[in-house]
Homo-oligomer: A and B are copies of this chain.
Amino acid sequence: MRPSGRAPDELRPIRLTRHYTKYAEGSVLVEFGDTRVICNASVEERVPRFLKGKGQGWVTAEYGMLPRSTNIRMGREAAQGRQGGRTMEIQRLIGRSLRAVVDLTALGEVTVAIDCDVIQADGGTRTSAITGAYVALVDAVGSLLKKRVIAHSPIHGQVASVSVGIYEGRPVLDLDYIEDSTAETDMNVIMNEAGGFIEIQGTAEGHAFRMNELQAMLDLAKTGIGTLLAKQTEALAKS
């Protein structure tokens, strides 16, 4: 029995709220249950130094948590003078996942920077961030199409992400904080709309996991991501 009473293959309630703030070209509040992340996509018509003159664009992400998004207040990274290893790891993952569905050359010399800021953390902040960031990215690209900076969308795929794990010996989908903190295995899966894997990161927290457990977790992930992709499509269908 999961602490939340959910079935093993049951996602938490998912909400994707577009146009959440008024300035960003794409602004999405994504909620996976009590986990709430603001994904703001900003368009800048220039590229980072390492891409100058290469005739292509860039999609990148930054991640942060409000100090009291968690049960115990964390120190503010800006006050500490450095981003921690976990933060860097997550923002690199979000950026890679989004770039996997964008033709950077077709984007032109434009940067889309997606800020994922966690307002409330209850497990799955990185997977919800990726899922919400995709919607923000589509809206940001939409603003470029509208302004005719580009004629066609450079986005050639759809991407969503969910966590899976082994909790009390059973594979479960979309772990909340209580499950996450005691799970034996924790895996983040990022997939596209064609069922291909963009990234998988699985970590044994307790015992090492077996091939059949991996298989079961990936099956759950596939189901969950199918639902998330549909939620994204639905959110984007609203004008």
Interface residues of A, count at CB 8 A:
64
Residues of B within 8 A of A203 (CB): 96, 198-199
CB-contact partner of A64 in B78, B119, B195, under 8 A: B78
Complex contact A85–B88 (CB within 8 A): yes
Main secondary structure of the interface of A (DSSP, over half): mixed
Complex contact B67–A42 (CB within 8 A): yes
Residues of B within 8 A of A36 (CB): 21
The answer to whether A100 has its CB under 8 Å from any CB of chain B is yes
Q: What would be 23 A-B contacts, judged by CB atoms less than 8 Å apart?
A: A21-B68, A21-B69, A38-B119, A42-B67, A42-B73, A62-B76, A64-B78, A73-B115, A77-B78, A78-B83, A81-B82, A85-B88, A85-B91, A88-B89, A100-B204, A157-B208, A191-B208, A195-B210, A196-B208, A197-B202, A199-B201, A199-B203, A200-B201
